[in-house]
Structures are given as structure tokens and as C-alpha cells.
Amino acid sequence: MRRPMGTIVRARAELQGQRLKVIASVRMDAGEVVEAQMPDREVSAILPRSILLGGTTTAPVSLLDTVRPIIERMSEGRRARLWLYKERWFLSFQPWRGVRFVDDVPPPVMDRALDAARDDATAPAG
């Protein structure tokens, strides 16, 4: 069974105990909005801990003022895959493994626009 897909409409950072958790509102393709937790590996992909904290394992609560906008901007609007585990929703971003690189080809719309521009430039003055 394929995991359901959705779009993150809101992401927020919160402290649970003293640990950072990211909770997202995700609009599933079927239209339903669910709350899903972002696993640590996904949080690590958008928040570079080594840059924000160096090697320390403690962070001032004021760092949340920096982290919150990063989480919002790097999450909201992104597509995510969802799964249910122990009656809680979780999400993951789409992996790169499905991406195939191909030779650069201009999109068809661009071809038509260029052809029209060439026709206008080479048309005899009327």
C-alpha cells in the first residue's frame, strides 16, 4: 500500500520536555488535514545543528526565535509522505532516489515563445 501524500500547510516548533519537536499540519491529497510529527532525521535535514549549536548538547530557549522561522520557511508548502505509527501521524520528505537527471531541454512553452520572437524580429517591415 502506498503511503498517503500531502502538503504541509503549517509547521511549528515546540518543546516537549526539553527536546525540540516539529509538528506540522498536513493537507492530505484527499482533503483532510492531519497533525503529523516530523521525525528527527527530517528536522536535521532543515536545521543544521552543527551550524546553530556547534558541538554542544544544550541550547538556550531563545534559540527557538531563530529556529521557528527556519522551520516554517523550509517546511510550509512542501510535499510530504505520511504514515501512521502507534496511532500518531508522522511525515517524511520525498527522497532524491526517485529523481533521474536528463539532458537540459527547454520547456515547450519556451520554444514557442522563442519562435514567435524570432518571427517578429525577422519579419519584413510593413
The CA–CA distances, whole Å, from 10 to 44, 72, 110 equal: 18, 7, 34
The string of pLDDT tens digits covering residues 2-55 is 789 999 999 999 999 999 999 999 999 999 999 999 999 999 999 988 888 888
Query: Maximum distance among all alpha carbons in the chain?
Result: 77
Residue 108 CA to residue 113 CA, distance in Å, equals: 9
- Where along the chain do its domains lie? 5-96
Residue 76 CA to residue 71 CA, distance in Å, equals: 8
Q: Is the pTM of this model over 0.85?
A: no
The string of pLDDT tens digits covering residues 80-107 is 999 999 999 999 998 888 888 888 877 6
Residue 24 CA to residue 53 CA, distance in Å, equals: 24
Amino acid 95: pLDDT: 86
CA atoms lying within 13 Å on the CB side of residue 45: 13
Contact 109, 38 (CB under 8 A): no
Amino acid 71: pLDDT: 96
For the domain made up of 5-96, give the CATH fold. Answer: OB fold (Dihydrolipoamide Acetyltransferase, E2P) (2.40.50)
